[in-house]
């Protein structure tokens, strides 16, 4: 019988706190790297309010120093991409000889940064379709969804296929009641995620509104649709084509979603730096290198840079 994976969670916020909490609740050995919430979580544990059922983990293996963490089979990177500079010090301390690194980050470029530290051959990536917020120290609110799309990272951008290690990770996540799907083509999946992130993250900040207003207001919705079409055109040039009905599906999903503040709006409202380069800068530059212009996306990118809180 194969031994269960052990998990390290790097970044115990809305994403890492939620998925790490589910893994621990399911009986996996989970170790959390925590920054500002360390004393709270060490004393009172981790609380998750979820549409699927609330739960509290009173005893959490929390650390504020990565050098004190054990080496685990799977290291989950759930930091915002704006904090990736810290990974140069963190990952060498927590990644062992046989560890895999699962990135749960937005946008483009995150895997390449991590590959420079640990090597491309040990990286898996997960794309989260999740409505979850951190609403207090050690307190996560899960509002909707939760699917993770899993794929093998390849530095050349080609499809990585479905490996045995990907299948094993998938089984572990499903055992924790985390919905998953496997993709052979991670790069294309990243661009498909950008089809939603590029319009709805940035427009929620630029218009100071939630997702429901963006799809309900005709003028704002039209801009979002233009941004989606630009992103699909960029994917076609940089990566591979996105099926035409996917864009309409994303709009329909957003119409059904509870009114939601995307992560970029939460960061802006809290005075934190936004993930502008990962979600906008990298895709725009990749598209330009492939001969495709993204004028509406550039406008939004420039506006967000002016609004971005100082680091």
259-293, pLDDT tens digit by residue? Answer: 989 999 999 999 999 999 999 999 999 999 999 99
Distance CA 147, CA 132 (A): 12
* Whole-number Å distance between alpha carbons of 142 and 135: 10
**Is the pLDDT assigned to residue 11 strictly greater than 70?**
yes
Coil vs helix vs strand at 79: coil
193 is catalytic: yes
The answer to whether the CB of 94 falls within 8 A of the CB of 72 is yes
| Residue reference for tokens 């549409």 | 51
Q: Tell me: the pLDDT tens digits for 199-247?
A: 999 999 999 999 999 999 999 999 999 999 999 999 999 999 999 899 9
pLDDT digits (tens, 9 = 90+) for 111-170: 999 999 999 999 999 999 898 989 999 999 998 889 999 999 999 999 999 999 999 999
Q: How far is CA 96 from the centre of its chain?
A: 23
Helix, strand counts (H, E) of the chain:
13, 10
Q: Is the pTM of this model over 0.85?
A: yes
Which one-letter DSSP state was computed for residue 271? T
Instruction: Show me where the domains of the chain are located.
Output: 6-184, 188-307
Superfamily holding 6-184: NAD(P)-binding Rossmann-like Domain (3.40.50.720)
Query: Does the structural domain 188-307 have CATH classification 3.20.20.105?
Result: no
Tokens of 225: 């649709």
* Residue among 134, 192, 193, 220 flagged as catalytic: 193
Q: Please, which residues bridge with residue 149 across strands?
A: 127, 181
Specify the 3-state DSSP secondary structure of 140: strand
Strand segments (E) across 36-193: 46-50, 55-57, 61-63, 74-77, 100-103, 123-136, 139-152, 180-182
Compute the distance between CA of residue 203 and CA of residue 296 in angstroms, rounded to an integer.
Answer: 11
Burial 226-248 (b: 16+ CB within 10 A, else e): ebbebbbbbbeebbeebeeeebe
CA pair distance 94, 10, nearest whole angstrom: 9
The token pair at 195 is: 């089809």
Q: How far is CA 187 from CA 151, 160, 163, 183, 241, in A?
A: 9, 9, 16, 10, 11
């Amino acid at each position: 019988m194969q031994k269960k994976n052990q998990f390290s969670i790097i970044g115990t916020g809305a994403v890492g706190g939620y998925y790490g909490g589910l893994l621990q609740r399911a009986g996996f050995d989970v170790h959390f790297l925590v920054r500002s919430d360390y004393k709270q979580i060490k004393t009172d544990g981790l609380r998750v309010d979820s549409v699927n059922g609330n739960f509290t983990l009173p005893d959490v293996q929390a650390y504020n120093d990565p050098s004190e963490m054990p080496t685990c089979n799977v290291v989950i990177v759930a930091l915002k991409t704006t904090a990736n500079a810290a990974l140069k010090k963190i990952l060498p301390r927590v990644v062992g000889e046989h560890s895999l690194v699962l990135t749960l980050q937005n946008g483009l470029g995150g895997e390449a940064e991590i590959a420079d530290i640990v090597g491309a051959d040990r990286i898996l990536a997960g794309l989260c379709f999740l409505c979850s917020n951190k609403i207090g120290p050690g307190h996560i609110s899960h509002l909707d969804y939760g699917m993770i799309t899993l794929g093998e990272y390849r530095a050349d951008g080609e499809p990585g296929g479905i490996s045995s290690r990907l299948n094993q990770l998938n089984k572990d996540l499903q055992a924790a009641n985390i919905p998953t799907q496997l993709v052979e083509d991670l790069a294309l999946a990243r661009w498909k995620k950008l089809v939603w992130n590029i319009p709805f993250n940035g427009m929620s900040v630029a218009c100071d509104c939630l997702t429901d207003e963006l799809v309900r207001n005709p003028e704002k919705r039209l801009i979002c649709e233009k941004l989606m079409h630009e992103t699909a055109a960029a994917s076609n040039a940089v990566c591979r084509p996105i099926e035409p009905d996917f864009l309409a599906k994303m709009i329909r999903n957003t119409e059904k979603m509870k009114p939601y503040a995307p992560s970029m709006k939460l960061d802006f409202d809290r005075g934190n730096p936004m993930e502008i380069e990962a979600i906008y800068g990298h895709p725009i530059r990749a598209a330009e290198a492939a001969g495709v212009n993204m004028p509406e996306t550039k406008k939004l990118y420039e506006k967000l840079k002016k609004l971005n809180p100082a680091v």
